[in-house]
Structures are given as structure tokens and as C-alpha cells.
Structure 1
Amino acid sequence: MSVDAPSLLRLEKTSLRQQALTALRRAITTGQLTPGTHLVETELSEALQISRGTLREAMRQLQQEGLISAGARGRLSVRHLDTKEIRDIFAVRAALESLAAQCLAELPDRTSAVAELSKAVDDMDRWAASNLEDRIEADLRFHRTMCHLTGNETLLHQWLSLEGSIRMSIMFAGVDRALKNMDTKRHFEIVDAIESGDGRLAAATVRDHMDGAASVLVDGAA
């Protein structure tokens, strides 16, 4: 059996790109790289110990996700959100996730969906004493799971396309405000509304959740 060396190199390069992407996404999401920070290729490639070409591939993906943006002369920096953008992001989230909650609440058999969402909230509680990154991922997993469980691929795709912006919004007003929005009680209220079988109630509960979360962030930045 012959070995295709270029293919092996591509796999290695992909792995490095993914590792760089994960590291940079984590640094931005947790606030290690703050909004407005200019991303200098030479510094980042040296810090991550990867080539500038591999770094550029990772940064292109982050730009597509909405985590970084291009400024004057194409210089890339960590995206900075304003209060209007925060409201806009949560308004779109409310539209998508309230639809997801309504769809799940109206399922003839909601048992497995409710069980999976309950487990996702339990995971949030389990990670409550862990580091910020794990808590953020647990929170995102709950909301992503709610969309996934609908079986509506278009809905899930739209949510995933917004995920970069959602990540940027989390740390908008600092750690304390971010953690306040990860309160498990508020997430169990969504699960309970879905379990009730009342689609309107489930949708309204999610909209209230998103309005409250946006207010926590915007008021915290005032």
C-alpha cells in the first residue's frame, strides 16, 4: 500500500489550524483577547508556534464567525460590539430559539427532548464551579441543543451562523454579568415550559429569557 505524503501533510496542517482556531476562539470568548485588540500575525504565530499561513486560515474562519473584523488597511482586530448590536443579536436569538421551544413543546412525545435539555442544564450546574470557558461552553450547548432537537436544519443552521456573535456578546459587560446570564434556574424555566406542552408559553418564556439576558449585558455596560 502506498502512502500519499501530501495527504498526510494536509491532515497535519488541518490539525494545527483547528488547534489555533480553538485557542484563539477561547481567548476571545473568555476575554483574554479583549474587543478592539489588534491581531499581529508575527506575534500570534510565534505564540501559537504555527506558520503565518496556518494562522491566516484560522483567522479567516474567525472573521467568518464574526469574532474578528477588518479595519483600516485590512488590519484584523477582535470585534467590538455596541449596545445596539447586543440588542440585535438577542432579538434574532429570541426569534430562533422561541421557535425552537414552541416546536419542541408541541411535539406529541416530548419526553426525550425534555430529558436531554434537563441534562444540558444539569451540566451547566455541574460546571458552575469550573473555569469560565467550560461554563460558557455548557451554556452554549444548552441553547444549541434546543435548536438541534427540533430537527429543523434551517433553524439550526441559522443559529450556528450566529454563534460567533453570541460568543462575542457573552463577555460584553464583564465576567459577573456573563455568569448572571448562566443561571440554571432561568434555563430550567425554559425546560419546564417546553414540558408543559404549551407552545405559546414556551416561546414566551424564551423571549423573556433573551430580553432579560440582553438587559443584564446592556445595563451592565451603562
Structure 2
Amino acid sequence: MSVDATSLLRLEKTSLRQQALSALRRAITTGQLPPGTHLVETELSDALQISRGTLREAMRQLQQEGLISTGARGRLSVRHLDEKEIRDIFHVRAALESLAARELASHPERAEAVGVLRRAVDDMDKWAASNLEDRIEADLRFHRTMCQLTGNETLLHQWSSLEGSIRMSIMFAGVERANKNMNAKRHHDIVDAIEAGDASSAAHAVADHMAGAANNLVAGD
């Protein structure tokens, strides 16, 4: 069997782009690269040991995710969110995830979905004492899974398009408040409402969850 060398090179390049993307996303969402940081191609490509072309591909993806923004003369920097943007993000999340909870609660065979969500919350508990990155990923998995379980691809697509902004919002007020929002008990309340089969209560549970999370980030206790 002959092997196309260009295919192997393309695979290697894709792998490098993905690794660079993951490293930059992690640095931004954990605050290693704080909001407003100017991203210099030469410095980043040297630090990541990748070509500037591969770096640009990764950074284009981060722009699409809402993690970095373009300023004057095309200068790229880590996106800075203000309080209004945080509230707007959580309002949209509430609308999307309330729809997901309503659909799941209305389904006559929701037991399997409830089981999956319970395991997702248990996973959050498992990572509770871990590093912030793992906690963020466990939290996002729960919310993404809730949307996935509806089988509504449009809903999932819209939620996924917000994921970069959601990641940025999590760290808006620092680690302590971020951790408070990722408390497992708050997520069990949503699953309880879905399990009860009351679509209205499930939607309200999500709305209350999102309102409380936004208030915690922008207003504190």
C-alpha cells in the first residue's frame, strides 16, 4: 500500500494547530493570558514552537470562539468582557438551556437522559478538588450534554457558538466566584426538575441557575 506523504504532513500540521489551539484556549480561560493581553505572533510561535502560519490558523479559530478580538491596525488581544456582556451571555444561555430542560422534562422516556445528567454532575463532584481547568471542563460538559440530549442540532449549534464567550465569562470575577458557580448542588436542582417531568419547573430551574450565576459574577454576594 502506498502512502501519500502530503496527507501525513497535513495530518501533522492539523495536530500542531489543534495542540496550539488547546494551549492558547487554556491559557486564556485560566487567566494565564489575562483580558487585554496583546498577542504577538513572533513571541507566541516561538513559545509554542510552531510556524506563524499554524499559529494564525489557531488564532482565527479563537476569534470565531470569541476568545480574542481585533483592535486598531488588526492587533489581536485577549477579549475583555464588561458586565453588560456577561449578563447578555447568561441571558442567551438561559434561553437556550431552558429550552433544553423543557424538552427533556417533557419527554416520556427521560429516565436515560436523567441518568446521563446525574453522572455528569457526579463528574463535577469528582473534579471539585482538582485544578480550575478540569472543573471548568466538567461544568461545561454538563451544560453541553443537556443540550445534546435533546437531539436538537440547531439548539446544540447555537450553544456551541457561545462556548468561547462562556469560557471567558466564567473567569470574569476570579477563581473564587467561578468555583461558587460550579457547585454540583446547583446542577442537581436542574436534574431534579427534569426528572419530575414538569417542563415549566425545569425551565425555571435553569433560568434561576443562570440568573444566580450572572449575579455572582458581576455583583458578588
TM-score (norm 1): 0.98
Query: Could you say which residue in structure 2 is the equivalent of 1:125?
Result: 125
Q: Which amino acid aligns with 2:149?
A: L
Query: Could you say which residue in structure 2 is the equivalent of 1:104?
Result: 104
Distance 1:27 1:193 in 2: 36
**1:67 and 2:92 equivalent?**
no
The 5 Å alignment of 1:1-222 reads: 1-220=1-220
Distance 1:17 1:109 in 2: 41
Distance 2:151 2:160 in 1: 14
Q: Which amino acid aligns with 2:116?
A: E
- The structural deviation recorded for 1:4 is 1.0
Q: Which amino acid aligns with 2:33?
A: L
Question: Deviation per CA, 1:25-53, whole angstroms, max 9, x where unpaired?
Answer: 01111111100000011111111010111
TM-score (norm 2): 0.99
Q: Which amino acid aligns with 1:113?
A: A
Q: Which amino acid aligns with 2:165?
A: S
Q: Which amino acid aligns with 1:218?
A: V
4+ residue runs over 4 A deviation: none
Q: Which amino acid aligns with 1:4?
A: D
Distance 1:190 1:170 in 2: 19
SS of residue paired to 2:162 = helix
Distance 1:190 1:28 in 2: 29
Distance 1:113 1:7 in 2: 40
Number of residue pairs the alignment of both structures matches:
221
Distance 1:31 1:95 in 2: 28
Q: Which amino acid aligns with 2:112?
A: S
- The structural deviation recorded for 1:182 is 0.3
Distance 1:30 1:103 in 2: 33
SS of residue paired to 1:77 = strand
- The structural deviation recorded for 1:3 is 1.7
Distance 2:32 2:188 in 1: 30
**Can you give the 5+ residue segments of structure 1 that lack an aligned partner in the other structure?**
none
- The structural deviation recorded for 1:139 is 0.1
SS of residue paired to 1:35 = coil
**Can you give the 5+ residue segments of structure 2 that lack an aligned partner in the other structure?**
none
- The structural deviation recorded for 1:76 is 0.3
Question: Deviation per CA, 1:129-150, whole angstroms, max 9, x where unpaired?
Answer: 1111000000000000000000
Q: Which amino acid aligns with 2:42?
A: T
Distance 2:80 2:184 in 1: 28
Distance 2:196 2:136 in 1: 27
Q: Alpha carbon RMSD of aligned pairs, Å?
A: 0.9
Distance 1:147 1:2 in 2: 43
